Chain A
Amino acid sequence: MNAQDRQRLAELAPFFVAGRLDPQERAAFERALADDPELARNVEAARAERDEIVALNEALPAPSARAVQKLFEALDAEPARTSLWARLDLGARLGDFFSPRALGWVAAAACLLVAVEAGFLAQPAPGPGGYSTASREEAGLEGRFALVAFAPEATMEKIAAFLARNGAQIVGGPRAGFFQVKLGGSDMSEDDAAKKLEALRASGLVTFAQKKG
């Protein structure tokens, strides 16, 4: 082994200790280590450094709850993500296939359809209360909601599966550790909402779940 090889290995010692050499480099390093007392001393020094660097960093404080609050407040102020349909730029793609006149007819038909739907949807609600429109419903402003704190051991996968199974979704939060979960639309009865809430509590995924509003 020449001086250049020895220097190259000496520089790799910290990465060997940190477990960040690729398998080929690691095998070559281990072979050299077996026959080179200088490299062995280097590795021993690197291990001591690593231990104390980790100890020093672990002694530093953790971020307070203010950091996560600040982050999610900032995210609340972010513009909504563009939908898949918008990303597909359907208008431009339709334009590739149809003439402007044909597109005009399609647009007129769509406006007519929207007007007819609005006529149906803006009827008074069957019970007491005001009017309910589809767009307001889709925006998630109406429906049955719960305030939920997830259990520490609840995994993202389990939560997502449970919500999907029960037709529920997270629509807000966290605020002070609580998420706003939509249990169902405004057509969901209070009994059904209570049952879904009970299922959520029984799932073991939450430490707190309470009807909201």
Chain B
Amino acid sequence: MTGLGGGGALTFGLRRPILGRAQFLQGVMGKQTTESDDPQLLARIARGDRLAMQVLFARHRLRVFRFILRFLRDEGRAEDALAETFVDVWRQAGAFEGRSSVSTWILSIARFKALSIARMRKDAPLDDDFAAGLADEADDPEVRMAKGDKAAVLRACIQKLSPEHREIVDLVYYQEQSVEEAAAIIGIPPATVKTRLFYARQKLSEICKRAGVDRGWP
């Protein structure tokens, strides 16, 4: 069953906020179940069905937005890129051939949009609030270590990864993309996906070690 609900960011009804994808997935169904009819939704979108578009947007908006936000680091611009991504989904729905999952296809479009916007606004200053938020999370794994919070140290160390390494760990762990899907999104060979992720994890262990945490691997 596909929920249609309102409130918060996406308002269909008047009472309840719609669940984020992750909350939704952790709820009553698994990823495969909720997304199994994505190709059917796209087929309907190709015929101009706005309700299908609304469902697809509700299903993917949260994760796509967060993926974009990592590139743009500005909520307003990330929302613009999110809307533009789904306008492209609307325009290109008829061309979707099912060679990848719909979420992979949407993330590919979103990545292209986000990078295009980032290149156009290369010299634009960061949104202050968002930058402050990043700094707060990223700063001083050593301080967090002193507080004895190992999970917080790991989080702070993850924030110190390069954008390239951060992208690959986000794609695999948060976006739940396979080797081939991540390769299609980034535009690199599958073998490079595996080695890039491996080196990102090694780098993370080095950063953690410098902060006083031995992860026990490698």
Contact = CB atoms under 8 A, between A and B. Distances in A.
Interface of A: 10-12, 14-15, 17-21, 38, 41-42, 44-46, 48-68, 70-72, 74-75, 78, 80-81, 149-157, 159-160, 170, 173-174, 176-177, 206-208
B151 to A, nearest CB: 6
**Nearest 7 interchain pairs by C-beta:** A152-B5, A177-B11, A81-B48, A45-B217, A70-B83, A53-B173, A67-B79
Given A49-B154, A56-B155, A153-B5, 13 more contacts: A48-B151, A52-B158, A57-B170, A62-B61, A62-B62, A68-B9, A70-B83, A75-B50, A150-B12, A152-B12, A155-B4, A170-B50, A177-B13
Interface of B: 1-16, 18, 20, 22, 46-48, 50-55, 57, 61-63, 65-66, 69, 75, 78-80, 82-84, 86-87, 90-91, 137, 151, 154-155, 158-159, 169-170, 172-174, 176-179, 181, 194-195, 197-198, 201, 204-205, 215-218
Contacts of A207: 6, 13-15
A150 B18 CA distance: 12
Contacts of B177: 20
A161 to B, nearest CB: 12
Contacts of A62: 8-9, 20, 61-62, 65
- Residue among B22, B87, B159 having the largest count of chain A Cβ atoms under 10 Å: B87
Contacts of B151: 48, 51-52, 55
Contacts of A78: 87, 90-91
Classify the interface of chain A: helix, strand, loop or mixed: helix
B79 A64 contact: yes
Contacts of B7: 152
Nearest to A151: B13
B12 to A, nearest CB: 5
7 contacts: A49-B173, A57-B63, A60-B66, A62-B62, A65-B8, A71-B86, A149-B14
B4 A63 contact: no
A45 B55 CA distance: 36
Contact of A68 (B57, B155, B218): B57
B198 A159 contact: no
Contacts of A72: 50
Contacts of A170: 50-51
B194 A11 contact: yes
- Residue among A12, A20, A153, A156 having the largest count of chain B Cβ atoms under 10 Å: A156
Contacts of B178: 15, 20-21
A170 B11 CA distance: 16
A50 B48 CA distance: 38
Contacts of A67: 9, 61, 65, 79, 82-83
Contacts of B3: 152-153, 155
Nearest to A74: B87
Contact of B173 (A42, A54, A74, A153): A54
B87 A71 contact: yes
B41 to A, nearest CB: 8
Given A48-B215, A70-B83, A152-B12, A174 B54 contact: yes
A70 B10 CA distance: 12
A150 B13 contact: yes
A62 B9 CA distance: 7
A70 B75 contact: no
A156 B174 CA distance: 27
A45 B12 contact: no
Given A56-B159, A63-B62, A71 B170 contact: no
